[in-house]
Amino acid sequence: MLEHENHELIAETAKTTIATAMLMASSPSRLTRLTIDAAPLATMVSWDPAPEKGIASYVVAYGPPADPLRHRITVLQRHASLPPLAAGTLVSVKAVNARGLEGWDWARAVAGRGAPRSTTTP
């Protein structure tokens, strides 16, 4: 029953699937050990470096659960200083390589209530 199949659609779907897999394979992987250290005047965020070579920067986003990517900054090191964060604020980080490809998944942690640190691992 191959005569009833849309061969052009199958070919385009296969090309798109392969392109997506290639993009994900060449993008930085998800970061690990995202840690939030709260202090009265600032919130320090740090993470393990991306395992890939050629990482140019990191994108750090934070915001309330309803809008977790509300604020974004770009940093060159594997740590960032943020303003004091309210309990429950979501912090997300991903790597960006020299070609400008962002990681395909965010590392995430939640600022804790009264807890000095909050950590996520894969």
Domains of the chain: residue spans and CATH:
28-120 (2.60.40.10)
Print pLDDT tens along the chain (122 aa).
677 888 788 778 877 777 666 655 566 888 999 999 988 899 999 999 988 889 999 999 999 999 999 999 999 999 999 999 999 999 999 999 998 989 988 999 999 754 444 445 44
Q: What angle do CA 55, 60, 61 make, to 5 degrees?
A: 145
C-alpha distances in angstroms, 21 versus 52, 96, 122?
17, 18, 21
- pLDDT, residue 32, reads 92
